[in-house]
Structure 1
Amino acid sequence: MEAARRWLAERGVSQVRDGWVSDERPDVLLTANQVAHSWAGDVFGEDLVAADQVRLAFGLLDLLDDYWVTCEIRFADQGTAGPLPVDVLWDGYRRRLEADRDAEAVTYSLWVDWFEDHTTSATAFAEVLGNDIDRVVADPSEALLRRARRVLECSGPVRWPVKEPTYRTAMRLPALHSALFHGLRASFHDVCGDLEPGAALALLDQLDLPTGTQHRAELRQVLAAGHENRYRSRGAWDAAVRSCS
């Protein structure tokens, strides 16, 4: 983060009490989002090896906590100079998913960019959780649990055959059951959500959830009826809500 702060300072951008200012217009207060849109992409034009560019970009993400920085990382990965170094790229995501701080920009990036794109979702899901789920279940540190919960909850768009083995392994750890429920629910509700109703229902029925968990009964009803996605079965969810109320 400090390297990113110095990098911005070299470009005349500094943080003040209520936001950011630039030397060019010191009387204009900038938001973190404005700073990200104006400068984050420049990281990948720096005379640095690609791995150091990625580390600097993630430092900007830590500093600004703005989703647009993740967009610039993805643009660089898919651009003419890409792909970015796989180990550094995904280590950057994993570290921030494990950190004891807000990770909304990172989880939103996974959800709407990496997971909704079926050319990248399998690799992304494997890198941020699938490859490690056995280790998470066998030795569930707080950091690993944070990462697993965050990924499961935003995994709705990942293709069912890709995520089902990870879901089944995660089922062995009760501490992940609530996150699995959110993942199953998102798999039904997301526009790009994906599930197999019978298999999803079998998982849902094994979850140890608090009595009265909101929408559990409705989700069970639509899955039992064979519905795959809310937007491909118009009215099914509303009917389930009326039936369970």
Structure 2
Amino acid sequence: MPGTLLRVSATDIDLALRYLADVGITPIGPNRWRWDDTPPEEMSDEDVAFHTAFEITTDEDLAGVQRVHTALGLLDLTGAFEVLIHLNAYVLNNPDQEVANAFWAGFRDRMAVPKPIEHLRLHLTTFWFWRHTTTKTAFDALLGDDVRRLAADGHLPELATGSLHLRARHVLEDSGSVDWDDKRDVYQAAATVAELRPAVFRALLGSYHAVYGSLDPAEALTMLESLHLPADTEHLPQLHAVLRNGVANHYKDPAAWHP
């Protein structure tokens, strides 16, 4: 399957399967579908997504939230980037807050598994966490709001295990391009949870190496030292050195990073 599927997404999958069945598309095996067209045709996951993702997000017979859930089910079934392209466009152009809420809830669920759908993580890093107009919205919805709430309530240890830990780990690792001012406090809070310190390190590493990575060298250095990572952690000496020298991004001074 494209990624680890959740029990809570079974309803989304059912919606997608019903939609596909209504247009004559049924699963016949891994990455194999039958389309009862004239003549009948066998299709791959990518083929199915290509032929139905846009139709699902523009189907006026489906309520707005139902379009989101059906598209998310199609994503679970196919793992195709095509689904994310059309679902993303639909959500961005829809003023209904319930549509946005369903979208982010679906993304949170799908990031809270051991192995999220590969194209979902790629989509986050190349779109939502990449554009300055969307990074704060996406980061807060996927992790920031929850971490700040837990910090205010004194419940940060809840980030140490379970599905919330998995989501936090994945989102942190993918958040290098999020503006530093929008993620600093979340990184700092996560750094107090021992089980998340490796993820915070990878978040700092990504913040330095991503083309549009964002960090403040002095603040990031203080945070890095607070992690108390093993001395043999890969890339730890190099990251420590560039931050100590005040370099904020690899692409601003590539020669500063010494393998």
- How high is the TM-score relative to the length of structure 1? 0.90
Pick the aligned partner of 1:174 from 194, 197, 203.
194
1:216 aligns with 2:236: yes
Higher relative contact order (CA 8 A, sep 6+): 2
Q: Deviations over 1:66-88 (max 9, x none)?
A: 22212211111233x45662211
Residue type of the alignment partner of 2:29 = R
Q: Deviations over 1:13-45 (max 9, x none)?
A: 222224223222667543212221221111122
Residue type of the alignment partner of 2:23 = R
Q: What does residue 119 of structure 2 align with? A: 105
Structure 1: state its 5+ residue gaps.
Answer: none
Q: What does residue 14 of structure 2 align with? A: 2
Residue type of the alignment partner of 1:36 = A
Q: What does residue 176 of structure 2 align with? A: 156
Residue type of the alignment partner of 1:70 = L
Q: Deviations over 1:128-175 (max 9, x none)?
A: 000001437242341000000010000000000000010011111011
For the aligned residues, what is the CA RMSD? 1.9
Q: What does residue 57 of structure 2 align with? A: 44
- What number of residue pairs does the alignment pair up? 238
Pick the aligned partner of 2:135 from 110, 118, 121.
121
Q: Matches of 1:4 and 1:152 in 2, distance apart?
A: 30
Q: Matches of 2:38 and 2:213 in 1, distance apart?
A: 45
Q: Matches of 1:33 and 1:209 in 2, distance apart?
A: 42
Aligned positions of 1:1-245 closer than 5 A: 1-18=13-30, 19-24=32-37, 28-46=41-59, 47-79=61-93, 81-82=94-95, 85-134=99-148, 135=150, 137-140=156-159, 141-237=161-257, 240-241=258-259
Contact 1:55 1:88 in 2 (8 A): yes
Q: Matches of 2:190 and 2:39 in 1, distance apart?
A: 51
Shift of 1:183: 0.6
Shift of 1:119: 0.4
Q: Matches of 2:248 and 2:84 in 1, distance apart?
A: 30
Contact 1:76 1:82 in 2 (8 A): no
Residue type of the alignment partner of 1:139 = E
Tell me the secondary structure at the aligned position of residue 34 of structure 2. Answer: strand
Tell me the secondary structure at the aligned position of residue 148 of structure 1. Answer: helix
Identity of aligned residues (%): 33
Q: Matches of 1:33 and 1:219 in 2, distance apart?
A: 39
Contact 1:40 1:57 in 2 (8 A): yes
Shift of 1:101: 4.5
Structure 2: state its 5+ residue gaps.
Answer: 1-12
Q: Matches of 2:184 and 2:88 in 1, distance apart?
A: 26
Q: Would the alpha carbon gap of residues 127 and 178 (structure 1) be closer, same or farther in structure 2, given more than 3 Å must change? A: same
Tell me the secondary structure at the aligned position of residue 205 of structure 1. Answer: helix
Q: Matches of 2:38 and 2:226 in 1, distance apart?
A: 59
Q: Matches of 2:243 and 2:86 in 1, distance apart?
A: 38
Q: Would the alpha carbon gap of residues 100 and 218 (structure 1) be closer, same or farther in structure 2, given more than 3 Å must change? A: closer
